[in-house]
Amino acid sequence: MSTTTPCLWFDTQGEEAANFYTGVFPNSRILDVTRYGEAGPGPEGSVMTVTFELDGRRFVALNGGPHFTFTEAVSFQVDCETQEEVDYFWSKLSEGGEEIQCGWLKDRYGLSWQIVPTVLHELIGDPDPEKSRRVVTAMLGMIKLDIAELRRASESAQEAAAVHE
């Protein structure tokens, strides 16, 4: 059975990044490190690839040089059940990076992440369009997502509907 493994292109920080990510996510580990030989293109003995798992999902970090960098066109979404999880992943992954908005951040290596409470999907997908609109509006005003504020936005739509009845 074939699998799909994301390969993340780094200049020279692949091993450092893999160690960082495996330290952030539970059930994670480095599986293999390969090094450049005399044929290159990297310096002989330097790290070429690092194969690692994040919570059981396999990734490869490739030290391919400065030719390519990450963009927001590709990001990894971290689904969080609680605000504590949101806060944890936000704090760890944004350290040395850049906080953007709507739960998006770039880590210290330039890789984009979305730190998303699982309840957001439910609140935005509410069949009541007013509830959904208020939740989306609240989310658009946030940097790190706040579950209590998202719930309040949804509930305020209920209260507004009750007043008009």
Question: 145-156, pLDDT tens digit by residue?
Answer: 999 999 999 998
By DSSP bridging, strand 29-35 and strand 47-54 are antiparallel
At 90 the pLDDT is: 98
> What sign does the CA torsion over 53, 54, 56, 58 have?
negative
At 156 the pLDDT is: 86
CA 74 – CA 65 distance, rounded (Å): 19
**162 in helix, strand or coil?**
helix
Residue 162 reports pLDDT greater than 50: no
Domains along the sequence of the chain with CATH: 1-68 (3.30.720.100), 70-165 (3.10.180.10)
Degrees (nearest 5) of the Cα angle 141, 156, 80? 55
Per-residue pLDDT band for 163 (boundaries 50, 70, 90) equals very low
Residue 21 phi, psi (nearest 5)? -60, -40
Q: By the 8 A CB rule, do 50 and 30 touch?
A: yes
> Could you report the per-residue pLDDT of 20-77, keeping only the tens digit for each?
999 999 999 999 999 999 998 889 999 999 999 999 999 999 999 999 999 999 999 9
Residue given tokens 């330290």 in the structure block: 23
